[in-house]
Each structure stands twice: as C-alpha cells, then as structure tokens.
Structure 1
Amino acid sequence: MEIENNKKRKTKNHDEVVTLPPELIEKILLPLPLKSLIRFRCVSKQWFSMISDSHFTKSHFDLASNTNDNMLLYFPPDKSVARCVDVEGSIHHDYAVQIPETYEHYSLRVMGSCRGFILLINCVNGTHFVVWNPTTGFHATVSYPSPLLRGDMYRPHQLWVGIGYDKSSDDYLVVAGWRDPFKTSKHRWDFFSVRNNCWKEIETRGFHSNFLITCNSGVFYNGAIHWLAVRTDGEGGRVIVAFDLEGKNLSILSLPPVLHGGGTPMLKLFGGYLGISYMSWQTWRNELWVLKEYKVESTWTKLNNYIPLDDTFTPMCLTKSNECVGRRNINMLTKFGERGKLLESKVIECDSHIIMTMFEKTLLTLPRNKREDDH
C-alpha cells in the first residue's frame, strides 16, 4: 500500500510540472541567457513554439539588450558556410554557420546588420536581398526596388543599401539608394517595409545629391542608417549620409577634420558608439574615432589605447572589456588589449577580399506582414 501511495505522489508531482501554465513557463524562461534558450527549444514542441514566438523573442531581446553577445562573422571564398566568432570570449573558439544564399567567388556582399539580422546581396547574378539571422537560421528574401538593379546593371558605388529597425512602428526597413544609370548625377532612394511588404520611394526634396557614396553597406545606429560619402560640389571632403527610419528623411553628418588628410575610412560601431577607423598618412597606422554624442560633431573623440603600432591591422570592434578585435596581415584574426598589447592571434581561411561583419546574437524574428495576416 505504501509503495502504491508513493507512486501516486510521484505521478501527481510529475503532472504538476507538466501542467504548468504557459504564462509561468514564459516568466521562467525569459531571464535565461540566449545559449540556454537555444538548447531549450529542443525540449518539446510547446517550448520550441514559445521560445520562437515573436512576442517572446522581442521581450527577451529587450531584457538582454545590454548583455547580448557581439559576434564576428567572416565568409571564406567559395564556401557554403561562414565562420562565427564570439569576440567576448576566445577568438579561437569559432564555429560554422550555414549560409542561406548560393554565391560565386567574391560575389556575396554584406550590406548591413541590425538586431541580429544580416542583410546579404549577390552582386553578380542576384535578384533579391536576403535578410538572415545566423543564430536561428531564419531568412527571408526581399525583391529589388527596381528592375534596373538586376543582373549586369549592378556596379560598385551605384547601389548603397542598409537595414534598420523603426521602433515607432515595430518594423524593419531595407533602405536602398542608387544613381540613375542614365543620369549619374541623380540619386533615387527607396525603402522596403517588412510589415507592409512593399517598397516606397523616399522624398528627397531639399536634400541635395552632391555626394558620392563610397561605402555601399549601411551602419544602423540610433534609429538611422549611415553611409560614408564624398562631397562632389567643389567643397570636397568626406561626410556621413544618414537616413532616419522614423522620420523617413536624409541628413548629413560631418567627420573629424583630421580624417580629410588620411586614407579611406571605414564606418563601424565601436564600444556602443558610431565610429570611424582610418589609416593616418602621418603615422601610417589605423586610428579610431567615435561620436560620443550623436549628431554633435564637436564630440568626435580619438581612441588610441586599443590600436597597435601596426599598419597591417584593421579594427572591427571593441569588446565589453575594451579589447580591440580585428584583422591583421590579411589572414590573421587578432585581439589586442589596452596600449596595443597582443592578447590572441588566429590564422583564418581568407584572402584580401575577405568579408567580415559584426552582429548581435538574438532569437528575433521578423514581424508578420499584412499579406500574411490576411491569410
């Protein structure tokens, strides 16, 4: 009798665990780190559905916005997989990620990243953009805004693209600008709304097209997408062209004056700020500048403590521990501490045309568009 009662108590306790209300399970799962959630998606269909739900992933992202891991992704030539590196840990611990797009040698391009999504394009025979979350493998295609951009019509510096998130409408936008192939002085800008599933032309009245975009890939920061450009109105000098996703308008930001006397800069995020890295012609080494207060040009600040005295090093990011990770001597991935102290170095499979990008590790999904909701 006692054995039978113990069995009943065990069965009852087991049933109580299994029948926990979904709301309580969600509260238990939400504070957990992303690595645990990825594993827990395999527990059951119910947990997989819950953890993959857009409401859950958005709530988890908002809770972990300051602790999300920064990941470095690089694409070896002619491979079907990319390599992913957690820069907050050891750069030696990388792993393979399946690429959702078939591409030929050097034809794949990364056009931007935002909240865990990476925007890809096949610039040779492509017919669409690919929005991809490397963490979950989720991907979706976005058609080109114009037939003129397909096939052989694509040329470097004729198309500049970026992806961003509009918090006011909970929507992701793919923004594309290009020069008219028949009127090279004329620019056209369009944006694609994931939620509305359509392209719309951006009104550029009052915004002069007296610049040439020199960086095709846009950098999302502070609710806007940014591209590097050169003025063509006789004044010369480099500037940043910014598209505000909520206001749907274009503006120009100035760069530090010293950058006008150096090599071609690269626009990236460094330590949570919009930043520039470039080769100084005076010191023949890369320098870092960050914009401490957005749109206040006087707050451009030079960061020297993290860059080694090495003209072959190209910085990619600053970690949460103020370490600098980047590429060195073409085929080396390296991490430096303060004052340029070498911490780690790793040989990677690449060449001079290697593609590298940074992204946040998230479980986010794209919002459902209106066409899907209608069904």
Structure 2
Amino acid sequence: MSDSHIPPELITNILSHLPVKSLVRFLCVSRQWYDLISDSGFVKKQLNRSVETNRDRTVILLEHDGSHCGNGFSFNFDDDEDQFCNAVKMYPPLQHCDILDCCDGLVCLLKGREEVVIWNPLLRKYRKLPSEKPKGVTNFWFPQFAFCRDHQNDDYKVLRLALFHYNDLPIEIKVYSLKSQRWKKVEEQWPNKEICHWDSASLNGVVHWLVADYGVLDKESLLAFDLASEKFKLYTTPVSPDLNQETRLEVFGGYLCFLVNVFEEYNDVWFMKEYGVESSWTRIYKIERDAVNWDFELFEYYKPLMFSKNGKKVLLEEHRKNNAILVEHNVEKIYSKNLIWYDLEKKQGKRVKNWSFPDAFRTATCIGSLLLLDGDNVVDPWQRNASPSEGLNLLLKAVDELENEMQEG
C-alpha cells in the first residue's frame, strides 16, 4: 500500500494535526510530502491549529551564570504533573545570547548590541538579521528591541530603538521585516516620554512600554507602537503609580497583562480584556504573601508564562531581587532561578522540582510551528531521516489516533 491510495486532502488534514517533530521527519518521505509540508498555506494551517490547541508547548531555558548566557535547554510542557520531564540540552544559533521575546514558536535572541537572530527551537532553524548601526554614531548608543507578528501585513518584525547617551539626540526607530529581509527607518518621532522598564510587551502587531514624563516617574502610562501603521498611542494603566510598588508589562493568555508587585505584600495581575479599551482592565488573580512558603520579599515579581490546559493553574517564573545584574550600559536585567505552579482556586504556589534546570535562566514559551522551515540549520542531534514505508506507517497510526479522538469527543 502507498500513500497514493489516500486522498491528498485527507493527507493534508491528518498531517496538520501532527506535532512538528513528526512533520520534520516526514519531509524526507517523498517529494510530494516535502512540497506539501513546506507550502506556505500548510505552514499557516499547522500554526493556526497549534495556536488553537496549545499543541507542542515547550519551555525554553537559556542558562545565565551572572556574567554570560550559556547552554540552552528545553522541556515539553505537561500540566498534569508538578514535576517536569528532564530538560533536554539545545544548541542556540548564538553563544552567550539573551532572549528578547517569542511569538508563534519563534524566539528572538540578542548577542551584544547588534547581533540578532530569529530562531525556531523546535525546528533547529534560524535567520540572522543584518547588522545595523545608527549612522554617524560609534559607541555612544545602546539598543532596545522588540519582536512580534504584524498581522495586517502577514509579517514578523523586529523593532529596534537606538538610545543615545546625549539627551539632545532623538531616539532612532528602525524595523526589520522578515518578509522583505531588510531594515527600515521609522519616520514617526518617539514621544517626549521616558521608558520606565526596559522589557516591552508585544501583542497583535503592537509593541508596548511603560513610560512616564521625563523626571516624573510617579505618572506612569502605557505607550503603544503599531508596527503596521507605525503610529504611537497612549493608554492609562489600571493602577495608579506608587513608590511602594513595582510594575511590569507581559503578554499572557492572549491578553496584554499588567503586573503590580506591592513590596512584601502581594502580586496583582490585570488583563486588558478588550484590547485598546482602557475600561476593560480586569484583575485576574492576586498572589498574597501567605500563598507561598518562601521569603516573599526576595522577589521582584512573578512572571506568568502560561495557563494549564484546564485553566486552574498558572506557570510562573520567579524574578529575584538579589539576582539582578548590570549588563552593557548599565541596563538592569532580572534572571530567574525557579518555576512555580500557582493554583488559582487553592491560592497556593508550589515550586517545580527539576534537577536538570540550570541555576539561573531566562525563559521563552513556544508552540509547535513550521515557520523558518527555509532558514539556516543549527546542529540538530535528534533529527533523522524517515523512509517512505515508515512515513506511511506513522501516517496510518495518526489516522487511527485522530479517529479515536473524534469518537471520544
């Protein structure tokens, strides 16, 4: 029996339900399968299924020892256990790099001030961006990056702010398009605002920062930059600024997320339930000091990574206050030492126990994606060729599994 006996539309539907690891192996089955899996329409279909089902969820850890980033590790996300499987060593395309952001299974990495890579860790493929220095400036600048998808133009973009030591120089804004593979200078001028925290949050093709008027940090607001229109917009935050609290922006559960840490007391998490509508800010959960059995005052805040599939737990990354380091140009970075399961109903937190985790790390959460299938290869220890007969057997097995799932549903 050969796959020619199976209707092409059925093969396409079945393959779109399979994990990325299997699809990569199936590229070697035949020319027909290679063309099908690498087709842009199939890549989008597979990505949409991954987004809808949270399939192939993987947590990426980049080791950090306080002076440089080292090895990469990954583990599949299993929300039925408090203990994760042993982390598997990975090979990032850049050594001593840092995680900037992640989107649709792609992770954006940075080394130094200019070396930027977009990496698909499940595929072990990447795209290196061309170096782009501000014109007429040598060493008196430092960058701030963001990465997200421009849905309107069906593109993935990296935004770079070039900030200068001299206040009389305006912030330079450039955007790299993965589709056009080039940098473009943005003509829109940066507003007269100071960035309060260097970590941005990207959602719906818009990059967000917490900002304030220069020298007036107690009047915090949310600044948004739309990558499609290349325009800025200001929003209010759900909580008034206070010197006794620390605030952060994240993207969590598909929403723009505002975190408030009132020192030694509690962590608040708010969602903008309807994007762009300031009145839709809603508090989702609150972590009280008594909810955890460790020194609450040692932590800057708890970064939410993802919900469990039943929505009753949140996986958190703890950011220690005493684990802050100063990197180039004295920009503060916080690195984690633990992951935590927080039960929303019981209001209790429990550390994830895993001896294979590095001592300190930065995280990225990924879903299964075939994006960058045409990118450059990273050394890939697990990939192997699949024979046509093996491919057909696995496809038939997938048919059985899909039928069982439909019967159970």
How many residues align? The count is 341
Matched, 1:128 2:110: no
Q: Which structure 2 residues correspond to residues 117-196 of structure 1 after superposition, within 5 A?
A: 117-123=106-112, 127-147=114-134, 153=140, 158-183=142-167, 186-196=170-180
2:337 to 315, 331, 342: 331
Matched, 1:27 2:19: no
Report the counterpart of residue 211 of structure 1 in structure 2.
194
Matched, 1:365 2:372: yes
RMSD value, Cα: 3.2
For residue 274 of structure 1, report the CA deviation from its aligned partner: 0.8
Residues 72 and 85, structure 1, Cα contact 8 Å, conserved in 2: yes
Structure 1: runs of 5 or more not aligned = 1-13, 369-375
Q: Which amino acid aligns with 1:314?
A: Y
Report the counterpart of residue 279 of structure 1 in structure 2.
261
| In 2: Cα distance, 1:21 partner to 1:142 partner | 40
| In 1: Cα distance, 2:150 partner to 2:168 partner | 30
Structure 2 counterpart SS, 1:63: helix
1:111 to 75, 100, 108: 100
Higher relative contact order (CA 8 A, sep 6+): 2
Q: 1:44/1:342 Cα in 2 relative to 1: closer, same or farther (>3 Å)?
A: farther
Q: Deviations over 1:207-263 (max 9, x none)?
A: 523222522x43221221222333316474222222112212122222123443443
Residues 140 and 164, structure 2, Cα contact 8 Å, conserved in 1: no
Report the counterpart of residue 96 of structure 1 in structure 2.
89
Q: 1:87/1:227 Cα in 2 relative to 1: closer, same or farther (>3 Å)?
A: farther
Q: Which amino acid aligns with 2:193?
A: N
Report the counterpart of residue 249 of structure 2 in structure 1.
267
Q: Which amino acid aligns with 1:71?
A: T
Structure 1 counterpart SS, 2:129: strand
Q: Which amino acid aligns with 1:52?
A: S
Q: 1:334/1:39 Cα in 2 relative to 1: closer, same or farther (>3 Å)?
A: farther
For residue 198 of structure 1, report the CA deviation from its aligned partner: 1.8
Structure 2 counterpart SS, 1:65: helix
Report the counterpart of residue 371 of structure 1 in structure 2.
none
Residues 196 and 217, structure 2, Cα contact 8 Å, conserved in 1: no
Identity of aligned residues (%): 23
For residue 279 of structure 1, report the CA deviation from its aligned partner: 1.6
Q: 1:114/1:210 Cα in 2 relative to 1: closer, same or farther (>3 Å)?
A: same
Report the counterpart of residue 385 of structure 2 in structure 1.
none
| In 1: Cα distance, 2:119 partner to 2:176 partner | 16
Q: Which structure 2 residues correspond to residues 48-127 of structure 1 after superposition, within 5 A?
A: 48-69=34-55, 70-77=57-64, 78-86=69-77, 88-90=79-81, 91-93=83-85, 94-103=87-96, 108-123=97-112, 127=114
For residue 268 of structure 1, report the CA deviation from its aligned partner: 1.3
For residue 100 of structure 1, report the CA deviation from its aligned partner: 1.0
What is the TM-score of this pair, normalised by structure 2?
Answer: 0.72
For residue 149 of structure 1, report the CA deviation from its aligned partner: 11
Residues 249 and 259, structure 2, Cα contact 8 Å, conserved in 1: yes
Q: 1:316/1:31 Cα in 2 relative to 1: closer, same or farther (>3 Å)?
A: same
| In 2: Cα distance, 1:149 partner to 1:230 partner | 29
For residue 101 of structure 1, report the CA deviation from its aligned partner: 0.6
For residue 110 of structure 1, report the CA deviation from its aligned partner: 1.7
The structure number with the bigger radius of gyration is 1
Structure 2 counterpart SS, 1:214: coil
Q: 1:38/1:322 Cα in 2 relative to 1: closer, same or farther (>3 Å)?
A: farther
Q: Deviations over 1:44-79 (max 9, x none)?
A: 554345323333111211234221244332211353
Deviates more, 1:138-147 or 1:19-28: 19-28
Q: 1:33/1:81 Cα in 2 relative to 1: closer, same or farther (>3 Å)?
A: closer
Q: 1:245/1:326 Cα in 2 relative to 1: closer, same or farther (>3 Å)?
A: same
Structure 2 counterpart SS, 1:304: strand
Report the counterpart of residue 11 of structure 1 in structure 2.
none
Report the counterpart of residue 304 of structure 1 in structure 2.
285
Q: Deviations over 1:141-184 (max 9, x none)?
A: 11243256999555xxx422111222222211111112233345
Structure 2 counterpart SS, 1:317: strand
1:230 to 200, 203, 212: 212
Report the counterpart of residue 379 of structure 2 in structure 1.
none
| In 2: Cα distance, 1:345 partner to 1:235 partner | 36
Q: Which amino acid aligns with 1:95?
A: V
| In 1: Cα distance, 2:364 partner to 2:302 partner | 12
